[in-house]
Amino acid sequence: MKTSQTANGESFRWPQPETARVPYQVFVDPAIYTREQEQIFRGPVWNYVALDAELPNPGDFKATFIGDTPIVVTRDREGELHAFVNRCAHRGALVCREMRGNRNTHVCAYHQWSYDLRGQLIGVPFRRGIEGKGGYPADFDPTTISLSQLRVATYNGVVFASFAQEVEPIEDYLGPTQQPWFTRVFNRPVRVLGYGRQFIRANWKLYAENTRDPYHASLLHLFHTTFGIYRSSQGGGVIMDDTGRHSMIRAFKRTEIAERAAYETTALRTYQKGYTLADPSLLQSRKEFEVELTNSIHSIFPCLVIQQIFHTLATRHILPKGPDSFELLFTFFCYADDDEDMLQKRIKQANLVGPAGYISMEDGYAAEIVQQAIVRDQDACSFLELGGVEASNVEDLVNEAAVRGFWQYYRHIMDF
């Protein structure tokens, strides 16, 4: 157990039992937030930055973030992807000022320093001055200057970047337990269908917890139970990697009889009768995957979630914006070879997720009502003992094992 300094200079010590308690301080402390930017987002991790399909052509670029650092992802003339910090090497201005597009070079607006698609400096105005006056010294060498370049890796069409020189290959970072689930969704080329953005006034880790928490699914999200679509007793389980940082939560449908039986033996406020969907076409589905799941929520540390909910496919990108807010970016996609019927199903079922999603809108709200209530008593902590205190794989959905797994790895990478 290590102690660390915090914003107010006091020492910080993780409470006991450390696997099953989280001090509220980690959600509000600016010093801890700053430490996360260094040790997590600039540390030995692969950060989700794009889908390959968002940058199909040479010159395509996308502006995004790693942690709260603005970056740019580009595709060069040879088709290689690059990523660099979006900050001019001259005076620190934002170089790329558009969300996406296609350019041969990226030119800083302030003094027109220009960079190639790898982030290498290629042009400096008035380098020799004017009429022998001004300009840079003779030993000024543009070839030694670039935007701060990141490592880039692509796995099955998903693009990651890392500040760290010492990070394992992406395949090893995902590990053998997560790769098959990743590949289950990213099994062939995809096409982007659109974006949905939410701004949540809560710490980003409250959302990281949420996607590792199958306990809340039928309790917070009342959509299924309201409309008599029995779900609380779904079969499923949690599969983590060795470190606990990634988790795959899968839910599959039991027979209706089994669902109803499980419901009726449990006294839940969420069991309501009386409503049915006026238009049930929303939930029409057909067989799509080898392993059929109604929901799969695959969290890749630190800030990527890959979801399949019915036929809705999306990445969710968690973008920290300070200790008490984050943006949640949904990127919806389909397969490039989808037929029209499947495409229409995906578009209609997008009602289920995103900022207005029937079974996802509450997730950000849940994070917000935690953030609102933990303004004081920061040595108080949350209680994570559902299913015990271990962070190991389980074959049920009434468990906080993956939340404990997240915090286990968080304590490790943060040196707490």
Partner 1 sequence: MNAREIRDAVEELQYAYVHCIDDDRLEEWPEFFTEHCLYKVVPRENADQNLPIALMYCDSRGMLQDRVVAHRAANLYAPHYYRHMVSAIRIVGRDPAEISAQTNYTVFRTMADPIHYGETELYSTGKYLDMIVFEDSQARFREKVVIADTCKIQSLLVTPL
Q: Which residues are near partner 1 by CB under 8 A? A: 99, 192-201, 220-223, 225-227, 272, 275, 277-279, 281-282, 327, 332, 343, 347-348, 350-351, 354-356, 358, 361-362, 364-365, 368, 372
Nearest to partner 1 of 209, 362 (CB atom)? 362
- Least Å distance between CB 288 and partner 1? 18
- What region, left, alpha or beta, does residue 375 occupy, with left being phi > 0 and alpha being psi -120 to 50 degrees? alpha
**CA-to-CA dists, residue 285 to 192, 312, 345, angstroms:** 21, 11, 8
Give burial (CB, 10 Å; 0-12/13-18/19+) of 75.
Answer: buried
Which two three-digit tokens encode residue 20? Answer: 């099953």
In the complex with partner 1, which residue's Cβ is closer, 371 or 382? 371
Q: What would you report as the CA-atom Rg of the chain, rounded to the nearest whole angstrom?
A: 23
Residue 38 identity: E
Residue 213 CB, nearest distance to partner 1 (Å)? 15
- Give, for 198, the enclosing helix (H) or strand (E): strand 190-200
- Nearest approach, Cβ of residue 359 and partner 1 (Å): 9
Reduced to 3 states (helix: H, G, I; strand: E, B; else coil), residue 73 is strand
| Beta carbon of residue 343, minimum distance to partner 1 (angstroms, whole number) | 8
343: which 2 tokens? 């495409």
Nearer to partner 1 (CB atom), residue 195 or residue 252: 195
Question: Smaller CB distance to partner 1: residue 225 or 234?
Answer: 225
Q: Which token pair is 39?
A: 């040790």
Closest approach of partner 1 to the CB of residue 407, in Å: 25
Q: Residue 118: left (phi > 0), alpha (psi -120 to 50), or beta?
A: alpha
Q: Which helix (H) or strand (E) holds 411?
A: helix 401-414
Minimum separation from the CB atom of position 249 to partner 1 (A): 20
Tell me how far, at minimum, the Cβ of 200 lies from partner 1, in Å.
Answer: 6
Q: What is the dihedral of CA 319, 196, 291, 177, to 10 degrees?
A: -10
Q: Which two tokens stand for residue 388?
A: 């015990």
In the bound state with partner 1, the residue whose beta carbon lies nearer, of 219 and 380, is 219
For the bound state, the minimum distance from the C-beta of residue 313 to partner 1, rounded and expressed in Å, comes to: 11
Tell me whether residue 162 or residue 225 sits nearer to partner 1 (CB atom). 225
Report how far residue 102's alpha carbon sits from residue 348's, in angstroms, rounded to the nearest whole number. 31
Pairing of strands 121-123, 295-300: unpaired
Residue with smaller CB distance to partner 1, 102 or 105: 102
Alpha carbon distances (Å) from 318 to 101, 109, 389: 22, 29, 26
Identity of the residue, 40 or 329, whose beta carbon is nearer to partner 1 in the bound complex: 329
